[in-house]
C-alpha cells in the first residue's frame, strides 16, 4: 500500500489530505480565506497558505493516525491557479519531499477534481461539469487526455454569484443565500442567455441582474431568474457535450455543486440521455488535498514524478496538457 | 409543419427529418422543448434560434457562402424547411481523408468563416459537424441557430476560438494541420482585417479563469 500526502493551494483555499492507494481518504482538512471586500487577492491568499499550511499538514497527519515516516509520496497542486498561491504551496511540498526523502508529484488541479469525483462515484468515463468560484468547465476524456469541451468565456459561475451577492449586500460566498432566496422567487425576469458553441458567458447576465436590483425589483425573483438562466446555460452545454461524446456518466463537482437546483437540472439532463449522474459530496467537491493526494497516487503508478529542479509551478496549465497514462 | 419523413439526426438541439416533396428531398429541422429550462426561457430560445437560423442561412447565402435554401418556417412548432444537402459532416469523414484533401477542406472552411465575418456576421457554432462535404468536395455550412449579425471583433474572435476548441476536442490527432489550414484560408480571404481577430482569439483563450 502506498500513502500519499496531497497539498492543494491554487486559489483562496489551502488543504492537506492523505489518501491510500486503495482509495481510502485517511484525512482531509482545509481552510478557506474569506475576503471581506472585492475578489481574492493573490498575495493575501498566499500569506494565508504560508501561515496555516504547516498547521493543516500537521493536522492531516494526526487525523490520519499515521507517522510522517509512513508517507510514501508528496503531491501538490502545480497549477493552474494564482502564481503566489501556487508557489507557496510548491515550496512546502518540495521541502517535505526533501525532508522525508520521498518522490514529488505535480498534479493538475482540474484533473484532480475529476479523479476524486470518479473515485467517489465509481464512474469510469464521465462528462464532468466542474463549477466553482474560479472555474466553469465541461470536461471529458478523449484521445488520451481530459479535454475542455466548453467553459466560460469571461467569469466563472461562482464568481458571478459572489459579485452579484456583494452588490446586493450578501456575505461571501453568496451562492447559498442566492439559492435560498431563489426558492421563494416565482416571477422570471429575462436575463441575457449567452451560449456560444459549447462555451458560455456570464458577464452580460450579471450586469443585467445588478440593474434589476437597482431598479428595485424583488430580490427573490432576481435570484430565481439568475439561477434559472445561469444553470440553464450550463445544462445546455453539458447536454451538447453528452450528445457529442455519447458518454453515459455525468459528474457534477466543484463548490457550486452544492446547489440543489443545479443538481436537479443536471440530473434531468442525464436522465434524458439515459446517463448515470453523480454529484460529488461537499467535502470532496471543493478545493482540498485529498483530490491531489489521490491523483498523485494515480500518477505515481505510471511513474509521473518530478525532479525538484523541474517542479516549477504552472499558473496557466491547461487540463489537456497533462498526460493521463493511468487510463486507457 | 406536418411532414412525414425519416429522422436523419437527433442532436441535443434539434430533430432533423428528411422529407420527400415534389420529387425532391428536403430537410425539416425542428427544435423540441428542453424540459430542464423553465418555459419562459425555453420558448424564447426556440423562437429566437429558429428565426436566427433562417436569417443566418439567407444572409450567408447572399454573402456567397453555400447554405441550404430555406423554403418555409413555422414559429408555432419552431421548424424550418430547407434543402437537403447530400453530404456528410466533415467531422465524420475527416479521419478517412488524406492530409492534403483534409487540409484543402479546412482551407475552404476558413474562407467560408471569413466571408461571413466580412459580411458582419458570426456563425456561433462553427464545428466540423456543421460543415457538410458533398461528393464533388464542395463545402456547405449549416446550423445557424446561434448566428449573430453586427459582429464585433470580440464576436469574431469567439467564432475562431470555437473552431480551435472544436478541433481540439474532436480531431486532436490532426488539430495542428486542420487549424493552420483553416487560419490560412481565413487570412487569405480577409487580408489585414484578419489580424485583430486572430489576436482576440488568443486573448479569449486566456480568460475565464482567475488568472
Ligand atoms: N440541410 C441539410 N441537409 C443534409 N443534412 C443535414 C441538413 N441539415 C442538417 N443535416 C444533418 O443533421 C445534423 C444536425 O443538424 P444541425 O442543423 O447541425 O442541428 P443541431 O443544431 O442539432 O446540431 C447535421 O450534422 C447533418 O448531418
Ligand atoms: Mg449542428
Q: Which of A149, A154, A193 has the CB atom closest to B208's CB atom? A: A154
Supply the residue whose CA is at minimum distance from atom 25 of ligand 1: B129
Q: Model confidence over B143-184: pLDDT tens digits?
A: 999 999 999 999 999 999 999 999 999 999 999 999 999 999
Counting ligand 1 atoms within 8 A of each CB, the residue from B10, B11, B13, B16 with the most, and so the one to mutate, is: B16
Residue-level pLDDT at B10: 80
Give the distance from residue A207's alpha carbon to the nearest chain B alpha carbon, in angstroms.
17
What pLDDT was estimated at residue A240? 94
Which residue does chain A place closest to B211, by CA atoms?
A: A82
Same fold, B6-83 and B88-209: no
B24-46: pLDDT as tens digits: 999 999 999 999 999 999 999 99
Res B48 pLDDT > 90 = yes
CB distance B41–A195 less than 8 Å? no
Q: Which residue lies with its CA nearest to atom 18 of ligand 1?
A: B143
- Write out residues with Cβ below 6 Å of ligand 1: B 8-9, 11, 13-14, 16, 27, 29, 68, 82-85, 89, 129-130, 142-143, 145
Gap between the Cα atoms of B35 and A258, Å rounded = 22
Count of other CB atoms within 10 angstroms of residue B22: 5
pLDDT for res B13? 83
Residue among B35, B36, B165 whose CB faces A197 most closely? B165
CB–CB contact A239 B45 (8 Å): no
Cell of B167: 478541433
- Give the number of the atom of ligand 1 that is nearest the alpha carbon of residue B82: 1
Q: Domain map of chain B by residue range?
A: 6-83, 88-209
Torsion of CA A23, A304, B175, B165, to 10 degrees: 50
Long-range contacts at A41-48 (CB < 8 A, ≥ 24 apart): A42/A82, A42/A83, A42/A84, A42/A85, A43/A84, A45/A11, A45/A12, A45/A82, A45/A84, A45/A85, A46/A9, A46/A82, A46/A84, A46/A85, A46/A87, A46/A88, A48/A12, A48/A14
For A112, the grid coordinates are 484532480
pLDDT above 90 coverage of chain B, percent: 87
Of all protein residues, the one whose alpha carbon is nearest to atom 16 of ligand 1 is: B143
Amino acid B136: pLDDT: 85
> Looking at residue B208, what is its pLDDT?
55
Atom 14, ligand 1: residue with shortest CA distance? B9
Name every chain A residue with its beta carbon within 8 A of the beta carbon of B165: 148-150, 197-199
Q: Given a cut of 50, is residue B211 above it in pLDDT?
A: no
Q: Where are the domains of chain A?
A: 3-113+285-321, 125-283
- The predicted pLDDT at position B50 comes to 97
Q: Which-ligand-closest: CA of B145?
A: 1
Q: Which residues of chain A have pLDDT under 50?
A: none
Domain A3-113+285-321: which CATH number of 3.90.700.10, 3.40.30.10, 3.30.300.130, 3.30.420.40: 3.30.420.40
The CATH homologous superfamily for domain B6-83 is: Phosphorylase Kinase; domain 1 (3.30.200.20)
Whether domain A125-283 has CATH 3.20.20.140: the reply is no
HEC secondary structure over chain A: CCEEEEEECCCCEEEEEEEECCCCEEEEEEEECCCCCCCCCHHHHHHHHHHHHHHHHHHHHHHHCCCHHHCCEEEEEEECCCHHHHHHHHHHHHHHHHHHCCCEEEEEHHHHHHHHHHHHHCCCCCEEEEECCCCEEEEEEECCEEEEEEEECCCCHHHHHHHHHHHCCCCCCCHHHHHHHHHHCCCCCCCCCCEECCEECCHHHHHHHHHHHHCCCCHHHHHHHHHHHHHHHHHHHHHHHHHHHCCCEEEEECHHHHCHHHHHHHHHHHHHCCCEEEECCHHHHCCCHHHHHHHHHHHHHCCCCECHHHCCCCCCCCHHHCCCCCCC
Rounded Cα–Cα distance for residues B201 and A122 (Å): 38
Q: Which-ligand-closest: CA of B25?
A: 1
Q: Do A236 and B11 touch (CB under 8 A)?
A: no
Cβ contact A280:A119 at 8 Å: no
Say yes or no to pLDDT of B210 above 70: no
The HSE-up count of residue B131 (CA atoms within 13 Å, CB side) is: 27
CATH of domain B88-209: 1.10.510.10
pLDDT digits over B58-78, tens only? 999 999 999 999 999 999 999
> Which of B52, B86, B123, B143 for mutating ligand 1's site (highest number of atoms within 8 Å of CB)?
B143
CA distance A26 to A19: 5
Burial of B93 (0-12, 13-18, 19+ CB in 10 A): middle
Residues 6+ apart with CB under 8 A from B11: A243
The whole-number average pLDDT for the span B111-129 is 97
Q: Which residue from B41, B146, B173 is facing A228, i.e. has the nearest CB?
A: B41
- Atom 9 of ligand 1, residue of closest alpha carbon: B16
pTM of the model: 0.94
Shortest distance between the Cα of B21 and any Cα of chain A, in A, equals: 30
Given A199, A228, A243, which is nearest B38 (Cβ)? Answer: A228
Catalytic residues of B: 125
On whether any CB of chain B is under 8 Å from the CB of A108, the answer is no
| Closest atom, ligand 1, to C-alpha of B84 | 3
Q: Does A189 touch chain B (CB under 8 A)?
A: no
Would you say residue B189 has pLDDT above 60?
yes
Ligand nearest to the Cα of B70, by number: 1
User: What is the Rg, in whole angstroms, of the alpha carbon atoms belonging to chain B?
Assistant: 17
Question: Cα A130 to the chain's mean position, in Å?
Answer: 6
Contact between B61 and B67 (Cβ < 8 Å) = yes
Strand pairing class (B15-21; B6-10): antiparallel
Q: Of A176, A103, A194, whose CA–CA distance to A133 is shortest?
A: A176
Neighbours of A62 (CB within 10 A): 12
The pLDDT confidence band at residue B16, using thresholds 50, 70 and 90, is very high
Amino acid at each position: 500500500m502506498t500513502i500519499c500526502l496531497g497539498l492543494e493551494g491554487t486559489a483562496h483555499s489551502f488543504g492537506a489530505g492523505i489518501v491510500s492507494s486503495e482509495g481510502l481518504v485517511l484525512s482531509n482538512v482545509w481552510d478557506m480565506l474569506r475576503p471581506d471586500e472585492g475578489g481574492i487577492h493573490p498575495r493575501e491568499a498566499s500569506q494565508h497558505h504560508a501561515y496555516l499550511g504547516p498547521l493543516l499538514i500537521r493536522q492531516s497527519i494526526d487525523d490520519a493516525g499515521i507517522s510522517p515516516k509512513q508517507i510514501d509520496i508528496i503531491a501538490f497542486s502545480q497549477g493552474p491557479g494564482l502564481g503566489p498561491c501556487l508557489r507557496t504551496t510548491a515550496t512546502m511540498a518540495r521541502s517535505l519531499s526533501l525532508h522525508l526523502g520521498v518522490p514529488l508529484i505535480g498534479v493538475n488541479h482540474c484533473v484532480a477534481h475529476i479523479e476524486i469525483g470518479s473515485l467517489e462515484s465509481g464512474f469510469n468515463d464521465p462528462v464532468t461539469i466542474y463549477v466553482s468560484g474560479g472555474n466553469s468547465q465541461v470536461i471529458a476524456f478523449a484521445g488520451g487526455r481530459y479535454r475542455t469541451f466548453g467553459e466560460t468565456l469571461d467569469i466563472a459561475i461562482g464568481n458571478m454569484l459572489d459579485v452579484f451577492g456583494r452588490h446586493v449586500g450578501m456575505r461571501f460566498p453568496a451562492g447559498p443565500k442566492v439559492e435560498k432566496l431563489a426558492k421563494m422567487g416565482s416571477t422570471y425576469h429575462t436575463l441575457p442567455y449567452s451560449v456560444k458553441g459549447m462555451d458560455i458567458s456570464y458577464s452580460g447576465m450579471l450586469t443585467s441582474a445588478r440593474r434589476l436590483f437597482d431598479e428595485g425589483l424583488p430580490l427573490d425573483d432576481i435570484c430565481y431568474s439568475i439561477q434559472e438562466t445561469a444553470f440553464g446555460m450550463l445544462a445546455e452545454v453539458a447536454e451538447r457535450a453528452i450528445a457529442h461524446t455519447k458518454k453515459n456518466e455525468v459528474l457534477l463537482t466543484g463548490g457550486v455543486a452544492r446547489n440543489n437546483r443545479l443538481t436537479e437540472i443536471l440530473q434531468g439532463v442525464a436522465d434524458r440521455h439515459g446517463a448515470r449522474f453523480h454529484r460529488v459530496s461537499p467535502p470532496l467537491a471543493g478545493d482540498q488535498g485529498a483530490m491531489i493526494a489521490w491523483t498523485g497516487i494515480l500518477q505515481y503508478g505510471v511513474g509521473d514524478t518530478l525532479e525538484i529542479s523541474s517542479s516549477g509551478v504552472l499558473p496557466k496549465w491547461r487540463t489537456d496538457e497533462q498526460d493521463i497514462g493511468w487510463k486507457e | 409543419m406536418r411532414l412525414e419523413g425519416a429522422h436523419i439526426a437527433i442532436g441535443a438541439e434539434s430533430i432533423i427529418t428528411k422529407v420527400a416533396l415534389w420529387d425532391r428531398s428536403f430537410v425539416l429541422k425542428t427544435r423540441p422543448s428542453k424540459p430542464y429550462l423553465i418555459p419562459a426561457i425555453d420558448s424564447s430560445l426556440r423562437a429566437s434560434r429558429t428565426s436566427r437560423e433562417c436569417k443566418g442561412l439567407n444572409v450567408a447565402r447572399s454573402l456567397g457562402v453555400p447554405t441550404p435554401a430555406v423554403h418555409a418556417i413555422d414559429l408555432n412548432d419552431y421548424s424550418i424547411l430547407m434543402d437537403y444537402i447530400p453530404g456528410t459532416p466533415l467531422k465524420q469523414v475527416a479521419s478517412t481523408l488524406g492530409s492534403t484533401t483534409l487540409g484543402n477542406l479546412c482551407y475552404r472552411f476558413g474562407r467560408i468563416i471569413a466571408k461571413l465575418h466580412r459580411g458582419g456576421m458570426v456563425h456561433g457554432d462553427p464545428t466540423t459537424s456543421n460543415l457538410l462535404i458533398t461528393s464533388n468536395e464542395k463545402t456547405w455550412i449549416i446550423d445557424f441557430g446561434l448566428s449573430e449579425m453586427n459582429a464585433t471583433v470580440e464576436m469574431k474572435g469567439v467564432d475562431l476560438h470555437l473552431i480551435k476548441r472544436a478541433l481540439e476536442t474532436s480531431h486532436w490527432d490532426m488539430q495542428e494541420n486542420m487549424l493552420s489550414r483553416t487560419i490560412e484560408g481565413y487570412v487569405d480571404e480577409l487580408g489585414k482585417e484578419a489580424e485583430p481577430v486572430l489576436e482576440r482569439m488568443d486573448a479569449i483563450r486566456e480568460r475565464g479563469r482567475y488568472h
